[in-house]
Structures are given as structure tokens and as C-alpha cells.
Amino acid sequence: MMNEWLKRFANRADGMQASEIRELLKLLDRPDITSFAGGIPDPSLFPTEAFAAAYRDALTGTAAGAALQYSVSEGYLPLRQWLVAHMGRLGVACSTDNILITSGSQQALDYLGKLFIGPQDTVLITRPTYLGALQAFSPYEPRYEYVQPEVGNATPALYAGAAGASRSKLAFAYLTPDFANPTGETISPAGRTRMLDLCNELDMPLVEDAAYEALRYEGVSPPALLALDCRRSGGIDLARTIYCGTFSKTLSPGLRVGWVCAARPVIQKLVLMKQASDLHSPSINQIVMHAVADKYYAEHTRMLRDVYRRRRDVMLAALNEHMPPPVTWTRPDGGMFVWVRLPDGLDGTRLLERAIAEARVAFVPGKAFYADGTGTSTIRLSFSLAEETESKAGIERLARLVRNEYARLNAQAYPGSS
Ligand code: PMP
């Protein structure tokens, strides 16, 4: 029957592949494994009491009616008003008409794929890029082209020419400018300007995934792409950048509350999509998220930055101390990830099998983040979850395994050498 089903699925189902991350998340339940795999917040840091109180309030007296009732597709108005102020602090002047509440930013990525990508249309991405974005976009059957905001992109003519050759349009460029998943890297102000220039010349939308924006541990934040764009274009309704935000990395991913901030015509279409797909994000979760964000966002994110900064520092120090020289890694200014380049020939997926069995450590093989299946000698380490002593010991065990694997690789390449 299995094959019978496969032939009945629409073509777009070919673009739906199981995620290695999802499989790996199951390992988090094994207490003997130190997991550097899932890019998820530490649950012990959730503002649990604040959420408990907010749910109680939302369900008390007359408020309960609204919390348990259907609501508008655009999202809970006080939450959108809070986000107007939040976006204002990021340099984006906008109104509630420029904001749609989504079920996490993942839903926004799916909607944007649905809104902009026709079969064979071109999406510009970095290599590597966020696996969840590839999963959201790929069912809409795009072709991918690559940008390198720091090192230099191809010429606009080249992107336009390649799209023209496949008789397709340029759908959008997708970027995670701050502490990217998986590399942890941040795009410099010059790189941001270069990307906006490119999108202007190609007259295409730019999707800014700002999932980790609030988690900066050092240095100064470059302006959001949307803020730069508003300045250049004359305001949000003239901007081509579509900003996707989320409370998942700051307050809680479980409530599934994210948002899109963009020009009104984009929001209006997305509202229709929201209506067709799930009517609206859960009323009670939006009400509660607003109450908690309003009281605690600044204070809570300050605390998170302190904790995660220490965890980042511990992981970087342990890598420095224990990893053999051919291994290199990024030094992120924020977020949750360190991206490791192994020596050529060491395969991240194979290393994971041994790491689980021998070093009791898990991570995500980097290949998962490449649309073209390259990147075999890379791995993603997340420092958000493991506490300091555990992280230190885990990196030491992983480094020992890498050293052994590297020695074995060399012995195969140069048999007889000692
Ligand atoms: N974008 C990036 C870069 C992410 O890492 C994630 C979560 N892994 C998301 C979007 C989606 O997060 P959510 O749907 O919980 O907002």
C-alpha cells in the first residue's frame, strides 16, 4: 500500500522530507546523552510563573469569554499594538495594519512560500540556511540560487538570467541576518546594504527571519533589514522587506506566537491565507503572550542573554582547549549556535553515529542545512541547553572522538605513517 499512496500524492509532496532535527530531538529524552542538537530554549528558563498567572487571569470572569472564543485573523489587537512599539524600537515605524500574528514564524515562512513561489520560481538563499525554511519553501517547488552577503553575490544579471532561462520569476531572497541558524553568523551593515541593493536591482522581495534578534551577547546590533529598507524606500508601505519575528526564542515556543511585519498589501494577502488555513492563532495564547511580554520581555531577555552568553563562552573555551587544529568554528555574537567545520573527509552524519554511541554527545550534521546536499564535513552545535559543566565535558568527549577519527582518516590516507 505504501507505494500506492506515493503515486497519489501531489508533486509538491516530493519536496517534503523528514527532518534529521526532528529525529534527533527524540534523543533529548535520553539522560545519558549531552545534546548539542536541538536549537531550543532551556525550559528551566521559561517564565513559568508569569505564564501561569496570565492564563489564570485570562480565564477569570468576563475575560474568559474572549480568551476561549474565535477571534480575528489579523491577531489580538493589544498584542499587535505591543509589536508596533517593539518594531519601533528596532527602527521600524509601522501601524497595526502592518502586523499579522502567526503560529510561530514557521507558519509565516510557509505562508510566504505559498504567496510568492510558483513551480520553478527562484528563491535566493545562503548556503547553509535554516533547514525549516527549506522545508517550508520546498513543497512550493522553487529552484534555489545562492547569495553570499559578506563575500559578494553574483551579479544581478546572472540571477535574472538564470531565472529567465528556466522561464520563472524571482520569488524572494531569504536571510537570517542575526546569529543565523545554523552558522551563528551575523550579516554586517555592509552585507545588509549589499543584499538590499541586490533585491532592489532585481526588484524582488526580501524575507528577513529575525528569530534570534533579541539574543545578542556582545557588540552592537546592525539595523534590521526592514529598518534600513524603510529608511531607503520612504516607509514600511514602500519597503520590499518582509520581517518575520517570534516569541519562541525569548518567552516560549510552546504557545506558538510569531508575527510578520510588512507593507499593507502583503499583510492583507497573508490575513486571507491565515483565515483559510487556521482562522487565527489561538486567542488565549495571544492574550497571555501579550500580558507576559508587556510585563517581562525586557527583564526576561536580559536574564536569557546573561545565561546564554556564559554557555556560549564555555562552549567556545572548551572547543579552543580540546579540538584538534584542522577543525574550525564560528564565534557567534548571539543566538544559540556554533558552526563547526571538520577536516575534509570527516563526515558529520557518520561522526554523529559514533558520537552518540561512543561519546554520548548529539549534534546536527551540517548537511541538513544545504539545499544542494553538500556540507558533509560540517556540524551544528547548540549551546542553549547544556549547563556549563555538562557542556564542557561533552565538548571534551566530542573533541577526543574527532581527534581519533581524524587520526584514522590520516592513517587511511597515508598507510605506514605513524
Ligand atoms: N527561523 C529560524 C531561523 C529558526 O531557527 C526557527 C526555530 N528553529 C524558526 C524560524 C521557527 O521558529 P518558530 O516557528 O517557533 O517561531
C-beta separation of 205 from 240 below 8 A: yes
Ligand 1 atom closest to Cα of residue 246:
16
- State CA 63 to chain mean position distance: 34
Closest among 232, 139, 235, 138 to 192, alpha carbons compared: 232
The proportion of the chain whose per-residue pLDDT surpasses 70, expressed as a percent, equals 96
C-beta separation of 200 from 226 below 8 A: no
Split at pLDDT 50, 70, 90, the class of 244 is very high
Across all residues in the chain, what is the average pLDDT? 94
Q: Can you give the pLDDT at residue 371?
A: 85
For residue 310, give every residue at least 6 positions away whose Cβ sits within 8 Å of its Cβ, in sequence order, or none. 388
Q: Can you give the pLDDT at residue 84?
A: 98
Rounded distance, CA 37 to CA 383, Å?
A: 9
For residue 68, pLDDT beyond 60: yes
**CA angle at residue 133 from 262 to 313, to 5 degrees?**
95
Q: Is 181 in the pocket of ligand 1 (CB under 6 A)?
A: yes
Q: Is 253 in the pocket of ligand 1 (CB under 6 A)?
A: yes
Mean pLDDT for 28-40 is: 85
Q: Is 346 in the pocket of ligand 1 (CB under 6 A)?
A: no
Per residue in 72-119, pLDDT tens?
A: 999 999 999 999 999 999 999 999 999 999 999 999 999 999 999 999
Q: Is 5 exposed, middle or buried (0-12, 13-18, 19+ CB in 10 A)?
A: exposed
The proportion of the chain whose per-residue pLDDT surpasses 90, expressed as a percent, equals 83
Please report, to the nearest 10 degrees, the dihedral formed by the alpha carbons of residues 256, 51, 47, 381 taken in order: -20
How many residues make up the chain in this entry?
418
Closest among 105, 150, 109, 111 to 127, alpha carbons compared: 150
Ligand 1 atom closest to Cα of residue 39:
8
Per residue in 260-301, pLDDT tens?
A: 999 999 999 999 999 999 999 999 999 999 999 999 999 999
C-beta separation of 397 from 360 below 8 A: yes
Out of 103, 105, 110, give the residue to mutate to test ligand 1, the one with the largest number of ligand atoms within 8 Å of its CB.
Answer: 105
Per residue in 397-407, pLDDT tens?
A: 999 999 999 98
Q: For residue 399, give the amino acid letter.
A: A
Q: Can you give the pLDDT at residue 163?
A: 87
Q: Can you give the pLDDT at residue 28?
A: 59
Q: Is 281 in the pocket of ligand 1 (CB under 6 A)?
A: no
Grid cell listed for 363: 549534534
For residue 386, pLDDT beyond 70: yes
Per residue in 174-195, pLDDT tens?
A: 999 999 999 999 999 999 999 9
Pairing, β 258-261 against β 241-246: antiparallel
Q: Is 209 in the pocket of ligand 1 (CB under 6 A)?
A: yes
For residue 418, pLDDT beyond 60: no
Ligand 1 atom closest to Cα of residue 209:
1
Out of 129, 181, 289, 384, give the residue to mutate to test ligand 1, the one with the largest number of ligand atoms within 8 Å of its CB.
Answer: 181
Residue closest via CA to ligand 1's atom 2 equals 211
Comparing 158 with 413, the larger pLDDT belongs to 158
Mean pLDDT for 57-76 is: 97
Mean pLDDT for 409-418 is: 71
Residue closest via CA to ligand 1's atom 8 equals 39
Q: Can you give the pLDDT at residue 411?
A: 84
The whole model's pTM is what?
Answer: 0.95
Phi, psi for residue 68 in degrees, rounded to 5:
-100, 0
Q: Is 130 in the pocket of ligand 1 (CB under 6 A)?
A: yes
Residue 201: beta bridge partners? none
Residue closest via CA to ligand 1's atom 5 equals 181
The DSSP-derived string for 350-368 is HHHHHIIIII-EE-EEGGG
Whole-number Å distance, alpha carbon 180 to ligand 1 midpoint, is 10
Whole-number Å distance, alpha carbon 356 to ligand 1 midpoint, is 25
Residue closest via CA to ligand 1's atom 13 equals 104
Out of 106, 174, 176, 207, give the residue to mutate to test ligand 1, the one with the largest number of ligand atoms within 8 Å of its CB.
Answer: 106
